[in-house]
């Protein structure tokens, strides 16, 4: 009886998984990023924020510094508004509500978070990152939801950003820049009087500024971690998740290094009206190139794309050892997983929106190799190839498809780029037409 039950349940599980995948593919509707009401609402509110923040700067600072800060802010907020109007942010009601609910959860037990004016925006950006502005606007990249594992980790990242705002880090950095710039002017004046070693003195001065800036940035990150964690640990969220979000950040890198099996090319590009041509896979000979160097470089890069993450992790481990305890997070929490699913589905549309058609195609091939939602990714493949055709015709392909770079790209990505650059215009058109019109 028991023996019979097991295979039956396995069949059932298999069926469910299969069915769920199927229904997921059919039911996914891309986020409506043009929700005008929400966007207009934000813009109106943000213009009021601009006015009150400008006033605040006038009361807190004076003289040339106040002018400097206000000019910076003016330039920034104008640029930011342009970006919003251009559509670089996602105004999805549910997603924004979810993000604001996390913020409320943090604020509930943290009286030091006084402001009620915090605003969160979600950027159409696939990278694991978040940032904040001194006027209490926070930006969470959609990539946070695809690379992080649960709500607790998102809360951890948000606490760190809130701490930056409470500690006025952006203003302090700008103040330092202002002092540096004033000093530079004086130094240049003084240098004119110097007879010897002028360039050496100037270089030493520049080096000191750069070093101070880096050091200052590192210290700000440490401070934001400490205060961020102090806010975080009062919330309901798992202490371990605070550390884990940083560890995931360290691990995070672009999708480029992920390997793509060469078989997928024949599978996808052998079409009824255009047989697969092995010559498409030919690439320049980089055999002399040592790929272990590449791996090292990637490791270095992933650390430098989030500078000092390694040091931050070590510091948190030693200051807050409770973050090393086993996580109590329920990883299957539905609301987070729902947004994670959305974020992952939005990844290719985001590359497409960003006009990075090459990477969009590369990611489509990766998903097709995993046999994930083939219908969805084939449609995007068609769309992206159509854009490649257009840019090839207008001689702008360089903008949308990377050139091969033996030092900075993985072997698989170089193979992909060789394939793309090998295709002739008529071949590209055939592929675009097939995937655009033939909905298999």
Name the residues that contact Zn ion, by CB under 5 A.
221, 224
Give min distance, CB of 132 to Zn ion, in A. 8
Return the number of the residue (131 or 211) whose C-beta is nearest Zn ion: 131
Return the number of the residue (67 or 218) whose C-beta is nearest Zn ion: 218
Q: Distance (Å, rounded) from C-alpha 224 to C-alpha 183? A: 28
Return the number of the residue (137 or 412) whose C-beta is nearest Zn ion: 137
Give min distance, CB of 301 to Zn ion, in A. 19
Output the DSSP codes for 288-317.
TS-HHHHHHHHHHHHHHHSTTHHHHHHHHH
Give min distance, CB of 308 to Zn ion, in A. 9
244 burial (CB, 10 Å; 0-12 / 13-18 / 19+) is buried
Half-sphere exposure of 3 (CA within 13 A, CB side): 0
Give min distance, CB of 97 to Zn ion, in A. 25
Return the number of the residue (309 or 347) whose C-beta is nearest Zn ion: 309
Alpha-carbon radius of gyration of the chain: 26
Q: Distance (Å, rounded) from C-alpha 40 to C-alpha 46? A: 10
Give min distance, CB of 288 to Zn ion, in A. 41
Give min distance, CB of 344 to Zn ion, in A. 25
Three-class SS of 42-99: HHHHHHHHHHHHHHHHHHHCCHHHHHHHHHHHHHHHHHHHHHHHHCCECCCHHHHHHH
Return the number of the residue (159 or 360) whose C-beta is nearest Zn ion: 159
Return the number of the residue (224 or 388) whose C-beta is nearest Zn ion: 224
Q: What is the DSSP letter of 280?
A: G
Q: Distance (Å, rounded) from C-alpha 30 to C-alpha 386? A: 19
For tokens 């599980």, what's the residue? 13
Give min distance, CB of 164 to Zn ion, in A. 6
Return the number of the residue (148 or 429) whose C-beta is nearest Zn ion: 148
Return the number of the residue (148 or 366) whose C-beta is nearest Zn ion: 148
Give min distance, CB of 57 to Zn ion, in A. 22
Short-list 367, 338, 266, CA closest to 92: 338
Give min distance, CB of 307 to Zn ion, in A. 10
Return the number of the residue (165 or 365) whose C-beta is nearest Zn ion: 165
* Residues whose CB is less than 8 angstroms from the CB of residue 134 and which lie 6 or more positions away in sequence, other chains included: 53, 73, 165, 168, 170, 171
Return the number of the residue (224 or 361) whose C-beta is nearest Zn ion: 224
Return the number of the residue (224 or 260) whose C-beta is nearest Zn ion: 224
Give min distance, CB of 159 to Zn ion, in A. 11
Return the number of the residue (221 or 373) whose C-beta is nearest Zn ion: 221
Helical axes 169-193 vs 198-232, angle rounded to 10°: 170
Instruction: Yes or no: say if 73 and 54 are a contact pair by the CB < 8 Å rule.
Output: yes
Short-list 268, 290, 294, CA closest to 280: 268
Q: What does DSSP say about strands 119-123 and 130-133: parallel, antiparallel, or unpaired?
A: unpaired
Give min distance, CB of 163 to Zn ion, in A. 8
Short-list 17, 35, 33, CA closest to 25: 17
CA distances from 335 to 101, 255, 419 (A): 11, 25, 40
Give min distance, CB of 228 to Zn ion, in A. 8
Short-list 111, 101, 136, 140, CA closest to 124: 140
Q: Looking at 354-401, list the stretches that DSSP marks H as alpha helix, in order from N- to C-terminal side.
A: 357-369, 374-393, 397-400
């Amino acid at each position: 009886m028991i023996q019979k039950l097991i295979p039956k349940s396995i069949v059932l599980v298999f069926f469910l998984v299969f069915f769920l995948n199927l229904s997921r593919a059919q039911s996914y509707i891309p986020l409506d990023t043009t929700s005008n009401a929400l966007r207009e609402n934000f813009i109106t509110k943000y213009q009021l924020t601009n006015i009150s923040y400008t006033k605040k700067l006038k009361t807190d600072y004076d003289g040339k510094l106040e002018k400097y800060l206000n000019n910076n802010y003016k330039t920034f907020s104008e640029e930011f508004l342009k970006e919003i109007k251009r559509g670089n942010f996602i105004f999805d009601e549910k997603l924004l509500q979810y993000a604001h609910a996390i913020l409320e959860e943090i604020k509930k037990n943290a009286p030091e978070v006084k402001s009620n004016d915090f605003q969160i925006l979600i950027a159409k950006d696939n990278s694991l990152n978040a940032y904040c502005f001194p006027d209490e606007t926070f930006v969470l990249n959609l990539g946070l939801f695809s690379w992080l594992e649960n709500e607790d980790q998102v809360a951890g990242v948000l606490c760190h950003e809130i701490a930056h705002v409470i500690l006025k880090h952006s203003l302090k950095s700008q103040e330092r820049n202002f002092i540096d710039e004033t000093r530079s002017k004086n130094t240049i004046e003084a240098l004119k009087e110097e007879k010897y070693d002028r360039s050496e003195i100037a270089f030493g001065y520049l080096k000191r500024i750069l070093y101070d800036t880096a050091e200052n940035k590192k210290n700000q990150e440490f401070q934001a971690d400490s205060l961020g964690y102090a806010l975080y640990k009062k919330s309901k969220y798992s202490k371990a998740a605070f550390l884990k979000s940083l560890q995931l950040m360290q691990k995070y890198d672009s999708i480029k290094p992920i390997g793509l099996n060469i078989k997928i090319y024949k599978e996808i590009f052998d079409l009824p009206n255009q047989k697969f041509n092995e010559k498409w896979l030919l690439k320049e000979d980089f055999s002399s190139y040592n790929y272990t160097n590449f791996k090292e470089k990637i490791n270095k890069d992933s650390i430098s794309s989030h500078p000092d993450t390694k040091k931050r992790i070590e510091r948190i481990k030693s200051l807050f050892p409770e973050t090393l305890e086993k996580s109590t997070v329920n990883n299957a929490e539905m609301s987070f997983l729902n947004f994670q699913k959305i974020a992952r589905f939005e990844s290719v549309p985001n590359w497409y929106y960003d006009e990075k058609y090459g990477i969009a195609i590369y990611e489509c091939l990766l998903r097709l190799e995993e046999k994930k939602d083939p219908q969805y990714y084939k449609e995007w493949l068609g769309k992206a190839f159509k854009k490649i055709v257009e840019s090839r015709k207008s001689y702008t392909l360089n903008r949308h498809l990377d050139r091969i770079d033996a030092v900075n790209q993985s072997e698989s990505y170089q193979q992909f780029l060789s394939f793309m650059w090998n295709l002739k215009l008529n071949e590209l058109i055939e592929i675009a037409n097939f995937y655009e019109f033939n909905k298999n």
